[in-house]
Amino acid sequence: MQGDIINKVASSTLETIDLENFYPQEEIVLFDLKPFLFMELILKEKEFRASLLDLDWSAYKDKIVAVTCTADAIIPVWAYMLIASYLEAFAKDIVMGSEQTAIQQILLKRINAIDLTQYKDKRVVVKGCGEKPIGDFAYMEITKLLRPVAKSIMYGEPCSTVPIYKKK
């Protein structure tokens, strides 16, 4: 056999983005308003405010908090604002919705914070297939961000990619 075996993937100029790196590592906890409602149906302002004052908010320290109400009740906007005002001093982040909504919002926030200058005129592979469930929304978002700057965008693994976009 002639010559050495060369690993073209290792020596390529491909930039790889692994969306799992943007997945929240922090604990995500649900803050449900249901237990704070009278008969789990009605928000009584005086009692609601008193129960929030008595709550140990330090339990939410450095956590991502998803605020929701699992009861079929009409919650005034100010109630969510009040909860956010208490949580802000402790929580790493606060989102409205379920745990899944929190994951999605955090992923999008972190993807949108990427410094895109590092991918200017580069060939970029967005890694697929991982351990964590990265939703389609994240792949769509990274493509929207990369398209104006990258030379090309591919999906998959550096050794086996699916072409997505190529600058003409």
Per run of 10 residues, the mean pLDDT along the chain (length 168 residues) is: 53 83 94 93 94 96 96 94 97 96 95 96 91 92 96 90 91
* Residue that has been written with the tokens 């992923």 in this structure: 107
* Residue for token pair 């605020």: 67
Position 132 scores a pLDDT of 87
CA gap 166, 150 in Å, rounded: 8
Largest separation between any pair of C-alpha atoms in the chain: 84
Predicted pLDDT of residue 159: 80
What local confidence, expressed as pLDDT, does residue 9 receive?
45
Rounded-to-integer distance, Cα 78 and Cα 109, Å: 25
